[in-house]
Amino acid sequence: MRICKILLRTSLLAIAALAAVSSESRADLFIRVTAFDSLGNQIGQDTASVSLSNPPPTVSSISRTSTLTDFDIVLTNNVALTSGGTTKHTETVNITYTGGTGSSSDKLVVEFLGTNYIHPPTGQAIVTANGSPSTAGLAANSVTYASGVSNSNAGLPGTVGSTAGLAGTLTLSGSIGSASSVLLPNPGAGPVFSISNPFSFYQVATLSGFSVTGDIGNLSLASTVTAVPEPSTMALAALAAPALLLTLRRRRRSDG
């Protein structure tokens, strides 16, 4: 009977471990690029996806060149997974725009999503982000970059660019037109929220109000979701610090 219990327990542990690996092996990266005209009508869309390996590597990426009405876009989306409680997305967006300006300006929405993440683990977390637009002539008076977590592990939103239902959402904003600038706040931090596994991590960059046509611009973007220590853990660490310092002082005196 005891042997049977041991075998059963071993089998359950093996199944649990396999389930953990399988959930992480299903992770995918998605890109969706959508263009709208000045009236809000969709005039083009391109999507791409790639599955991460089993288990996911420390860094994986998806690149895409998209040609839509009035836009040529070259994208690279990287994801870095660490067992220390962090998932990070970095994106590079190169844009060539040939549409109208002012009231006739188009709008571009670029979305990135990673699904089935398990870092950080269930608990408290926070989203941080930064963004730097640069240009070789392109100008747009509105650039936003939003990041958030879907605890329901949802895929790309049904409505392009929607952050509804996301947790810990952070939005940076600014413009593109100077040689080098930043989106504000820079860096930015969203609210502390409760994260559950598996989750998906979503970013969306929106550019509108173009005032120059026929030129190139670039966005360098990064977002990270990181575990936040529980208040009780932080309190214990604060209480332990004076005792540790006292111990160290006593040791130094005895050594002397």
Dist. CA 73–CA 33, nearest whole Å: 9
> Which of 203, 245, 216, 255 lies closest to 91 in space, CA to CA?
203
CA distance 66 to 74: 6
pLDDT digits 0-9 by tens, 184-220: 999 999 999 999 999 999 999 999 999 998 888 999 9
Helix, strand, coil content of the chain in percent (nearest 5):
20, 50, 30
| Residue in 183, 151, 168 with CA at minimum distance from that of residue 224 | 168
More confident of the two residues 235 and 46: 46
Write down the pLDDT at residue 214.
86
pLDDT tens-place string over residues 51-107: 876 656 678 889 999 999 999 999 999 998 877 789 999 999 999 999 999 999 999
Cis omega (within 30 of 0) on the bond before 55? yes
What distance in Å separates the CA atoms of residue 100 and residue 91, rounded to the nearest whole number?
26
Instruction: Give Cβ neighbours of residue 201 (< 8 Å, ≥ 6 apart).
Output: 87, 89, 113, 114, 117, 147, 148, 149, 150, 223, 225
- Residue 249: which pLDDT band, with cuts at 50, 70 and 90? low
- pLDDT band of residue 11 (cuts 50, 70, 90) is very low
pLDDT confidence of residue 85: 82
Mean pLDDT on 244-251: 49
231 has pLDDT over 90:
no
- Say what the pLDDT of residue 27 is: 76
- What does the pLDDT read at residue 29? 92
- Model pLDDT, residue 12: 40
Give the CA angle between residues 94, 161, 109 to the nearest 5°.
Answer: 25
More confident residue, 241 or 207: 207
Q: Where are the domains of the chain?
A: 26-245
Whether the CB-CB separation of 172 and 183 falls below 8 Å is answered with yes
pTM of the model: 0.80
Degrees (nearest 5) of the Cα angle 189, 145, 129?
A: 30
What is the pLDDT confidence band of residue 253, given thresholds at 50, 70 and 90? low
For residue 22, pLDDT beyond 80: no
Q: Tell me the per-residue pLDDT of 121-162, one tens digit each, with 9 for 90 and over.
A: 999 999 999 999 988 889 999 999 999 999 999 999 999 999
What's the pLDDT tens digit per position in 125-134?
A: 999 999 999 8
- DSSP state letter for 104: G
